[in-house]
Amino acid sequence: MVSILRNSFLQEANIKIGLKSYFYSMSTKAEILSEIIKNRRSVFPESYTQKEIPTHIIEQILESANYAPTHKLTQPWRFTVIRKGAKAKLGAELGDIYKRVIPAEKFLQKKYDSFGQKTSQADVVIAINIQFHEDKVPNWEEIAAVGCAVQNMALTAEVLNIGAYWSSPPLIDHLGDFLELGENEKCYGLFYMGYHDAEPREAKRTPMSEKVNWIEE
């Protein structure tokens, strides 16, 4: 009888310890996630070092995008990874587009040179593309889904101490041929990445209370 009571007591104690550990773990996870979200910053190519990002790390960042919310499971995110020698080709392509679409009187040599500089400073540039499914969901939902996917990438990069920056110049509207996009696909930005030596900086945000309206009755 004593043995049965002891086993019952131990079982109950283990359950309590397990539950306490579970809830503590959940609390810790929430705190960690909050810290990651609040610490994320755009880190620009001029702060990147020359350290190469391993392929499996790039794949890990991309994999996180695959778990973004997606209405009707269209999974509209499509990415083109540009690295090594292809970065110079991207920089040249952006420069050529700039020359073609910008009126001569508005052409800035500094701006033209910046495209090659950014692509050379980054270790990897990922083109953020969307494959639309107009027969299933409105385009804005696909855009929203890809925004969530890129946020997943940015947060994963933050955890891995990799700087990331989503650039969306108007020139991306002309990158379809370079990226070999399909008829129902469009580029929505370039995601620059690199290990970096940038100093941490505080987020500039106004209080959330100024942006929320509660309706309870």
The answer as to whether 158 is a domain residue is: yes
205 is a domain residue: no
Radius of gyration of the chain (CA): 23
Residue 214 lies in a domain: no
pLDDT, position 147: 98
> Is residue 137 domain-resident?
yes
For residue 16, the model assigns a pLDDT of 53
The pLDDT assigned to 190 comes to 98
Ranges of residues in the chain whose predicted pLDDT is under 50: 2, 4-6, 9-10, 19
Q: According to the model, what pLDDT value does residue 29 have?
A: 87
- Tell me the pLDDT tens digit for each residue of 79-89: 999 999 999 99
Rounded CA gap, 83 and 146, in Å?
22
Domain of 55, in residue numbers: 45-195
Does residue 71 sit within a domain?
Answer: yes
- At residue 5, the pLDDT reads 43
In a domain, 176, yes or no: yes
C-alpha span between 42 and 73 (Å, rounded): 29
Q: Please indicate, yes or no, if residue 121 is contained in any of the structural domains.
A: yes
Question: What are the contacts of 175-181 at 24+ separation with CB within 8 A?
Answer: 175/93, 175/94, 175/97, 175/127, 178/89, 178/90, 178/93, 179/80, 179/127, 179/129, 180/80, 181/78, 181/129
Residue 10's pLDDT is 44
Using alpha carbons only, give the angle 207, 158, 40 rounded to the nearest 5 degrees: 15
Q: Is residue 19 part of a domain?
A: no
What's the CATH code of the domain at 161?
A: 3.40.109.10
Whole-model pTM? Answer: 0.86
Number of domains in the chain: 1
Q: Give residue for tokens 């990874």.
A: 81
